[in-house]
Amino acid sequence: MASLLHFSFIPSSSSSSSCSSSSLFSAFHSRSPVSSPARIRTGVRCNVMEPLKFMNGKPTLLNGEAALPSVLSSRVQLENVISKNDTRLRIFSGTANPALSQEIACYMGLELGKIKIKRFADGEIYVQLQESVRGCDVYLVQPTCPPANENLMELLIMIDACRRASAKNITAVIPYFGYARADRKTQGRESIAAKLVANLITEAGANRVLACDLHSGQSMGYFDIPVDHVYGQPVILDYLASKTICSDDLVVVSPDVGGVARARAFAKKLSDAPLAIVDKRRHGHNVAEVMNLIGDVKGKVAVMVDDMIDTAGTIAKGAALLHQEGAREVYACTTHAVFSPPAIERLSNGLFQEVIITNTIPVSEQNYFPQLTVLSVANLLGETIWRVHDDCSVPFVSRASGYFWWYEMEKRVKEEKDEARYGEVFGESASGVWNTEDLSGSWVALNLTPPWALTDQSCWWCSHLSFRYCH
């Protein structure tokens, strides 16, 4: 049978870019023992896409360089110390977002598994694993983004192929979970498609699901298998903190009443910033009408927070209202950029100072506009995969990290007006001894463990930044 489309994801061994070792990670690793026997995985190569560059001022794809410290960057390629059990970990990519899959694998120091995916002339999907997964812990990276039905069916067939190939565990890594908005009945005789999709994934043979920023928490209850829910907040918080916006000028805005809990949690991470709510009335699918604003935004920098942007009707009308109420600047922050028409026109018409999204859904080149910034969640998902594989706690990954952590500590020190203690909070004193006098309060208030309270088996950075390599 002839095929119209063919996709074969086989990482090249002759790639010009390779995962190089990091001296910083080596220093961290030397602080604690590694299970023995162990081996160094060498020769791991990856094809990480170069940052997108445009001559007309369009933004660059940020893989953590500006949003995260270098030790968290997905662009840092390293030779991992991998125990013998880790040789049974396999990562495969679907066709929905191969760039994100490659970044995840490169962060973990692994190669993507070899898989052939193609479309027959009648639209049917063919999947063949081109390496053995018998007894392996398999992770399938496939967001069910538009075209949702094709990508969902492809994921189901990938799961079935792994199950029939005797994989020990199959985890569906779904950065964007399609149909998540159909999580309840709003009118009579409606379907709950989110539950149906959960049943399909379970029946196909998945043992676990790893999802990022589900539309509602209740969707986790639709699965009869474990669900690890990872939040994309730390990535966006790190980026906002790197912009050093004064906290006194900041107000977090929820574009609708349903997102208040999400916006409140976001505001709490930003030094408990004030909260405003846009009240709206929806008259139909993908149609929203803004009514009024609850809260004060006059003269402030407004940060609108939502889990996704589809047609951008809600967030665009909300931004227009914020400007009417006297907001100085308006930022839009969202994890999932669905960008259904006419989203690009609404977002690029000058209402927003910046639109900050993540790469859970790939953004085509024609959908880029000057105010758009794309952040990578590869580190977040890669670290979560390691922790699931190693039977470690996953919620730890969602704690504040990177620039946001430094920003919080710097702000706390500046508020205390004690410049002499500045260096002692961020590192050892000149004598090489920690000065613990009256410093514990700042760390406890931030829910962090002071460095001097860590044991010999602990890593100071790891206790805050979720590194696997040193513990």
Q: What is the CATH number of domain 233-378?
A: 3.40.50.2020
| Phi/psi-derived region of residue 64, left when phi > 0, alpha when psi is between -120 and 50, beta in every other case | left
Query: Which tokens belong to 340?
Result: 């259904």
SS3 for 191?
A: coil
DSSP 18: B
Is the Cβ–Cβ distance between 50 and 75 less than 8 Å? no
Which residue carries 């960008």 as its tokens? 339
Q: Do the strands 125-129 and 61-62 form a parallel or antiparallel pair, or are they unpaired? A: unpaired
Q: Do the strands 38-40 and 81-83 form a parallel or antiparallel pair, or are they unpaired? A: antiparallel
**Per-residue pLDDT, 243:** 83
Is the Cβ–Cβ distance between 62 and 73 less than 8 Å? no
Backbone angles phi, psi at 75, to 5 degrees: -80, -10
Could you give the CA distance from residue 24 to residue 259 in angstroms, rounded to a whole number? 39
DSSP 181: T
At residue 239, what is the residue type? Y
Backbone angles phi, psi at 120, to 5 degrees: -80, 170
Do 82-230 and 233-378 fold alike per CATH?
yes
CA 441 to chain CA centroid, nearest Å: 31
Domain ranges of the chain: 82-230, 233-378
**Per-residue pLDDT, 258:** 86
Can you spell out the DSSP letters for 291-329? EEEES--TTSEEEEEEEEESS-HHHHHHHHHHHHTT-SE
**Per-residue pLDDT, 271:** 84
Can you spell out the DSSP letters for 29-71? HTTS---SSEEE----B--PPPPP--TTSPPPEESSTTTS-GG
Could you give the CA distance from residue 215 to residue 204 in angstroms, rounded to a whole number? 23
- Using alpha carbons, list the distances in angstroms from residue 296 to 131, 251, 379, 460: 58, 8, 36, 40
**Per-residue pLDDT, 397:** 63
Supply angle C-alpha 458, 387, 445, rounded to 5.
50
Q: Where are the beta strands (DSSP E) in 101-249?
A: 115-120, 125-129, 137-141, 169-174, 208-212, 227-230
Is the Cβ–Cβ distance between 208 and 169 less than 8 Å? yes
- The answer to whether the pTM exceeds 0.75 is no
Helix 378-389 vs helix 233-242: crossing angle, to nearest 10: 140
CA 127 to chain CA centroid, nearest Å: 27
**Topology of domain 82-230, per CATH?**
Rossmann fold (3.40.50)
Could you give the CA distance from residue 468 to residue 426 in angstroms, rounded to a whole number? 22
**Per-residue pLDDT, 7:** 54
Q: What is the largest CA-CA distance in the chain?
A: 75
Could you give the CA distance from residue 423 to residue 418 in angstroms, rounded to a whole number? 10
Question: For the chain, what percentages of helix, strand and coil (3-state, to nearest 5) are there?
Answer: 35, 20, 45
One pLDDT digit (tens) per residue for the chain, 471 residues: 444 445 555 544 444 444 443 333 333 333 333 333 333 333 444 444 444 444 444 444 444 444 444 334 433 433 444 444 467 999 999 999 999 999 999 999 999 999 999 999 999 999 999 999 999 999 999 999 999 999 999 999 999 999 999 999 999 999 999 999 989 898 999 999 999 999 999 999 999 999 999 998 888 989 999 999 999 988 999 898 888 777 788 999 999 888 999 999 999 988 889 999 998 776 666 665 647 899 999 999 999 999 999 999 989 999 999 999 999 999 999 999 999 999 999 999 999 999 999 999 999 999 999 999 999 999 999 999 999 999 988 875 655 444 444 444 444 444 444 444 434 444 443 444 444 444 444 444 444 444 444 443 333 333 333 333 333
Could you give the CA distance from residue 114 to residue 60 in angstroms, rounded to a whole number? 29
Can you spell out the DSSP letters for 210-224? EEES-S-GGGGGG-S
- The residues, any chain, with a CB within 8 Å of residue 439's CB and separated by 6 or more, are 421, 424, 425, 450
